Structure 1
Amino acid sequence: MREFATSPAPQPAGPVRAGYDATRDRVETYFDKTATQTWERLTSDAPVSKIRETVRQGRDQMRALMLNRLPVDLSGQRVLDAGCGTGQMATELAARGAEVLGVDVSPQLIDIAELRLPEEYRKQVRFAAGDMLSAAHGHFDHVIAMDSLIYYDAHDIGAALKSLENRTRGTIVFTIAPRTRLLMAMWYAGKLFPRSDRSPIMVPHAHQPLAQAARAHGVSGLIRPVERITSGFYISQAMEVRS
């Protein structure tokens, strides 16, 4: 198992951190001001359009896939749900016995997560609005970051993985937008919309350049692809960092 660093890694300064902060702020604005109701419905049993149903199904498959990368019994282990949204992953982690901290940049989504959390897990799960990379959250046995890093470039993801690795004993499971023809077409098409109308644009990545960026930031664990989920408009690649 990976040993903890003796102190948290320093936050990147200058343009690197500024880039991360700017993207995080755009994500917060989108989910907290524009898309709260959409995500509240998408992550519930409420009827949605056929397109959104494919996204819902894809997210359900990805959540199950990521959970399967962790031990079935998580009793006594502390897990960070980084970018927890409305709390679906946090609830399933708690069902495995984990002590869970769910962090999301959107206070609105955190409010929904709090309301939806089953009473039986309230002693195991805590939610917090803010930066999922904050060293103030402490140390963890495992980290899951489902679709919360997909808006960042390789440099920022590498820095994020290093920050998390310094405070994680076991596995970090995360997702990226894979560099496929469809996603690249969507990426370029998104740039055609007026800036005020855009949702945060996913940044597609290939495995090797992303791994190189992470190693440049000092990530020591093995970074490898796990499996890709494709369900209609949902295309996401699961990755993991293991010591």
Structure 2
Amino acid sequence: MSDYTATRERVEHYFDRSATKVWDRLTSDAPVSRIRQTVREGRDRMRATMLSRLPADLGGCRVLDAGCGTGAMTEELARRGAEVVAVDISPQLIGIARARLPQTLAPRVTFAAGDMTDAAHGSFDFVMAMDSLIYYSAADIGAVLQRLGKRTRGGIVFTVAPKTPFLMAFFTLGKAFPRADRSPTMIPHAAETIAAHAKGKLRRIERVSRGFYISECLEYQP
């Protein structure tokens, strides 16, 4: 089993069996703890940053929301007029995303549970991958970008956990303890390392740091 496949299966197990309720609440308007509120605010800022890289009018464009989660990015893309293919490894999260999507936007969205790199999803004008690659190695991220890049006419906008002292300490500490819940481990990366594996043009867009949410937006051109 490849590293990518093993990690993907671990992510699926975690989000379908351990974290569904947490993500359902975190991505809703329900009250959350102060720490989770910073994560919610950070994710909102990052989503806006990623969307700023795409045209305001996406009419006629086909966009992949790779790792759509509970569907916030999917809804925004559909509101801009895009035909959206919303893919997530977790069938449970796909169910939440489908239920939350306004019915007026439903004709523009196709939901699918499975591998975001599956060629069966077709070709795209743009790909958005928000926090869906943060558990993978640099080599796996590079391979994903290359696979998607072959079927993407425009850019691939995605996020990674940046290699900050805080996140590196968190990563190192996490490796020192057994993970009984099979939860995946976020892996910090330097953009230069990703670029070396992706073999394309990689551009830094913005780093968002809000409390416990730290993420870096990058843009890949095949």
TM-score of Structure 1 vs Structure 2, range by shorter chain: over 0.9
Q: C-alpha offsets along residues 93-139 of structure 1, whole Å, 9 cap, x if unaligned? A: 00100000000000000000110000110100111100000001000
Matched position secondary structure for 2:180: helix
The number of aligned residues is: 222
> What residue in structure 1 maps to residue 97 of structure 2?
113
> What residue in structure 2 maps to residue 240 of structure 1?
219
Is the Cα contact below 8 Å between 1:83 and 1:146 reproduced in 2?
A: yes
Which of 177, 180, 185 is equivalent to 1:196? 180
> What residue in structure 1 maps to residue 205 of structure 2?
226
Residue 143 of structure 1 pairs with residue 127 of structure 2 = yes
**TM-score relative to the length of structure 1:** 0.89
Residue 163 of structure 1 pairs with residue 147 of structure 2 = yes
Take 1:39 and 1:72, find their aligned partners in 2: how far apart are those partners?
Answer: 28
Take 1:23 and 1:198, find their aligned partners in 2: how far apart are those partners?
Answer: 10
Take 1:199 and 1:227, find their aligned partners in 2: how far apart are those partners?
Answer: 27
Give how far 1:213 is off: 1.1
Matched position secondary structure for 1:147: coil
Give how far 1:37 is off: 0.1
Map 1:11-160 → 2, pairs under 5 A: 18-160=2-144
Matched position secondary structure for 1:73: coil
**Unmatched tracts of structure 1, length 5 or more:** 1-14
RMSD: 1.0
Give how far 1:170 is off: 0.4
Which deviates the most, 186-195 or 25-34? 186-195
Take 2:101 and 2:181, find their aligned partners in 1: how far apart are those partners?
Answer: 32
Q: C-alpha offsets along residues 129-183 of structure 1, whole Å, 9 cap, x if unaligned? A: 0000000100000000000001000110010000000000001000000000000
Is the Cα contact below 8 Å between 1:76 and 1:97 reproduced in 2?
A: yes
Is the Cα contact below 8 Å between 1:78 and 1:142 reproduced in 2?
A: yes
Is the Cα contact below 8 Å between 1:145 and 1:175 reproduced in 2?
A: yes
Matched position secondary structure for 1:60: helix
Which deviates the most, 51-60 or 195-204? 195-204
Give how far 1:198 is off: 5.1
**TM-score relative to the length of structure 2:** 0.98
Take 1:106 and 1:114, find their aligned partners in 2: how far apart are those partners?
Answer: 12
Give how far 1:195 is off: 2.4
Is the Cα contact below 8 Å between 2:18 and 2:181 reproduced in 1?
A: no
Take 2:193 and 2:134, find their aligned partners in 1: how far apart are those partners?
Answer: 15
Report the residue type matching 1:114 in the other structure. Answer: R
Report the residue type matching 2:142 in the other structure. Answer: G
